């Protein structure tokens, strides 16, 4: 069963060690990423079982996490606001 992460910024999912049915163990950096529109799947490199499904953060989650001092969120928010500002000018 894949673990579903609904808030990208909140949990320690990125560094959690996860065991697969096939016996493989590791954190998300060792898994294969499959990008989708709404989520990113993290797949066991040994047997291609989906281990993690991570929802992409929406702008409210990014703003909240940035306000809470999450550095990655602050960087993302800066990029998003830059993009919005550019968009606004066209």
Interface residues toward Zn ion, by CB under 5 A: 20, 22, 24, 44, 46-47, 49
Residue 16 vs 81, nearer CB to Zn ion: 16
Residue 49 vs 55, nearer CB to Zn ion: 49
**For the chain, first and last CA: distance in Å?**
46
Residue 44 vs 73, nearer CB to Zn ion: 44
**CB of 30 vs Zn ion, minimal distance in Å:** 11
């Amino acid at each position: 069963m894949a673990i579903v992460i609904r808030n990208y910024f909140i949990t320690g999912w990125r560094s959690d060690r996860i065991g697969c049915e096939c016996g493989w163990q590791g954190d998300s950096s060792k898994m294969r990423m499959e990008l989708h529109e709404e989520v990113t799947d993290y797949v066991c490199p040994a047997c291609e079982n989906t281990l993690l499904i991570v929802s992409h953060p929406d702008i409210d989650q990014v703003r909240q996490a940035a306000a809470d001092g999450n550095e990655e969120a602050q960087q993302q928010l800066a990029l998003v606001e830059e993009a919005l500002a550019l968009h606004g000018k066209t």
